[in-house]
Each structure stands twice: as structure tokens, then as C-alpha cells.
Amino acid sequence: MKTIRETVDVLVAGGGTAGHVAALQAAREGLRTAVIEAGSMLGGTMTAGGVAMPNHFFSRHGPVVQGIPWQLYCQSKEVQGLPVPDWTKRRPVETPGYYSYINVPVYAAVAEEAALKAGLWLHYHEFISEVQAQGDFWEVTSLGRGTRRITTARELIDCTGDSDVVRALGLPVMYDDIRQPGSLQYKIEGIEHEEIWEKEVQAIYEEAVAAGLIEKGDFAYPNILPFKEFLDRGGHNCSHIYEADTSSSEGQTKANIEGRSRMLRMFRFLRSSIPGCERAAIKTMAPFALARETYRTLGEYVISKKDFLEARDFPDGVCNAFNYVDMHSREQGCELTFHSEDTLLPLVPFRALIPKGSSRLTVAGRIVSAERFALAGVRAQCTCMAMGQAMGAAAALAVKKKLPSRDIPSLDIVALTVEHGAVPLQG
């Protein structure tokens, strides 16, 4: 095995939804920045994970998240020769936000192109194996096939989605015995929708569940949506994997197997039982299953349900969140909770992105320090990207000022992200 040694200013663990934006923000400020990514591309859940809808850039009242995430989104549309949707011309939907969609290959390639242009060092197919503090520096060991990399960095950002760095350091985390179900993304095409009648397919679906031909969780939303919704979406984002835990290779393997089993069972059911689905075909499948929550960081502050629903105006807010909660469960399927007014916009406080008792280390993404209910709102993809940009800014300022990132004023963090196009705080 070849050993490689590198020295950088900022090391981002995980190039997913939060991580690729964090790394770009630090690199665009002239910092030597590297990304350790266990997968094969940038974007994480929204690209390789198949949830190709980064939401929400806009509420009904204006922009919520812009900056680097919006720039990448717009660039991906330009490459496709497609117009960027004008939020002022959108119509109200079922939620207070407007949905955006990306083409996975294009977005992943555009993000990578932007990363290389910014001078980012990208290391795919590597995972963090060891993290040690060495004075005012971090020494991080990552392993890949035939490669052992030892990276020395001043600032470290954990964007792994499972608190890999935080756990490696033995810092406190939160982990619930009951967690939101995960999902495997796939798309079924070739359905003859003109042959679909809502009441008929609903009855066929309910009979199949009662007979054990398909199982609870094969369709994730029976409590709030008719089964026709599964057919309309072609199955996209419509399955549940109970107790999914992707924080280890063992857990990831188990989730992958269950997800593909559910997909195959549902596909066989559609082809054999639903009129109009006789010629259906599975066209796409994400390479791995996803979890909605596993280990999240115990930070210097824990965002509470009350904080989120009342849209608390945190003095150390660093980015906007969004204003509804999307909570999945085995018992209910999916429950949506909306704020009392759709003008309320929660904030993410800097303290919730600083692991308790740590220095020169921040987190971003779904491992934010939050109670489960609040996490179900804060984990939206655009919010994760905004957290990433904020922590990339915090790391850049810390290196430039020769201070630990936790000592950087939140107002300075926001000012730098706004300089790079982010939306000012609206809490």
C-alpha cells in the first residue's frame, strides 16, 4: 500500500450535499483545500444518492438559499440548455417552497469542474480511518484501495453525514434507537398512465398489502397520498427502509440489500397486477441506499423543536433553514408539520455546528446538533448546502486570522458567504 502525505489549510471529510459546497467556499478564498470522499462523485445524496431535487432555494416570499449552491444549479441548467426557473412565476404547491430538480450526471460533472477550477484536491474512494490532534493541526489518515493518505490540516470540517470524524475523535454524538426510515432511489418508466384509475389501483394496492404480496414500506406515503402517486413518480423517493443505518459498511450493506429487495418486489407487483404497467421497466437505480438520520453531533447548542417552529432569531445564526418538517416513521409513513405562518424562516446557529468541547473542527449537513423533530426540518438539501458554505467560510476566516474557527464571529461568516452570493439571514 502506497503512503501519501499532504498538507492543506482546510480538509473536508465528505464531498456530499454539504461537503462539496464547504470545500468550494474555502478554496475560492484561496485556501489549500482537500476533500476526502468515500464515493465516486461530488453531491452525495442529491447525485449518487439519487434524490435529485435540492430543495428549497425559494419560499413563496423570496430566495432562502443562493450563493454557491444556486450558482452550481444554474450552471448545470446552462449546460443542459435549459432555462433557470423564475420563482416569481411559480404557483403554490403542497409545501411552502418551490421544488428544483437536477440532472445527476450534469450536476456532478459541473460541481467537479468548479472544484478543479478552484484548485480543490479531490480524493475519491477514500474513507477516514483515524483522526489525531497534533498541536494546532489535525492529522487525518484516510484509506483507499492501494492508498494510505496522511493529511495535515489546520481546519477540519465533518460533512460525512454520519459524524465519522466526530466519532473518531471520541466526541459526544446523538443516536436514537428509533430513527427515520431510509430509502433507495429508483425510477420505473414505461407506465401507460392513461390506463391508470386512482380508485382501482388503490384497491389493488390495499389487497396486495393485505395478502402479503407487497410489504409496508414498499410505498412510503400511504397515510397521506394515494397509491397512484407511486405510479406518477415512477417510484422515485417512494420507498422506506426501516432502521437504515449507513454509518458502517455492515449497515450500508444491509440497507442496500433491503432497498433492492423492496424495489424488485414492487416491480414484480406492478408488472403482474396493475393495468398499464405490463411493459414497465426499471430505468435507474442509485448505487447505494440512504439514511435520513444516524449519528449526529452533540454541539455547543442543540436546536430544539421550539426553536425550529418559532423560527428563533439566533444571535449566532449563520444561514437560513426552511419552514416545514418532513418526519418519516414506520408507524405513520410520513407526517408534514408546517409553521404557523409561512413567513417564518428558521436559522441555523453557529453553535450547533461546533462539536461540544472541540476546536478547529466544525460540522455541516444532517449531522447538525438538533433534536430529531428539528432535524427533520433542518436536513433539507438546500439547508445542508447553506451550512456547508457557512462552515467553509468559517474555516477560511480561521486560517487567515490564525484563530480556531469556533472563535470567528458569526457576523463575519455571514458577511463572507453573502460576498459569495448567499442570502442574508432572514430570521
Q: How many CB atoms lie within 10 A of CB 53?
A: 15
Cell of 370: 438538533
Average pLDDT, the chain: 96
Residue 342 has a pLDDT of: 87
**Residue bearing cell 442543540:** 302
Q: Which residues contact 310 (CB under 8 A, 6 or more apart)?
A: 344
Q: Check residue 427 and give its pLDDT.
A: 58
Q: What does the pLDDT read at residue 90? A: 86
Q: Are 17 and 160 in contact (CB under 8 A)?
A: no
Q: Are 373 and 310 in contact (CB under 8 A)?
A: no
Tell me the residue type at 35: V
Residue written as cell 441506499? 289
Domains of the chain: 2-177+293-419 (3.50.50.60), 186-285 (no CATH)
- pLDDT digit of tens for each residue in the chain (427 aa)? 899 999 999 999 999 999 999 999 999 999 999 999 999 999 999 999 999 999 899 998 999 999 999 999 999 999 999 999 998 998 888 888 888 999 999 999 999 999 999 999 999 999 999 999 999 999 999 999 999 999 999 999 999 999 999 999 999 999 999 999 999 999 999 999 999 999 999 999 999 999 999 999 999 999 999 999 999 999 999 999 998 999 999 999 999 999 999 999 999 999 999 999 999 999 999 999 999 999 999 999 999 999 999 999 999 999 999 878 999 999 989 999 999 998 999 999 999 999 999 999 999 999 999 999 999 999 999 999 999 999 999 999 999 999 999 999 999 999 999 999 999 997 5
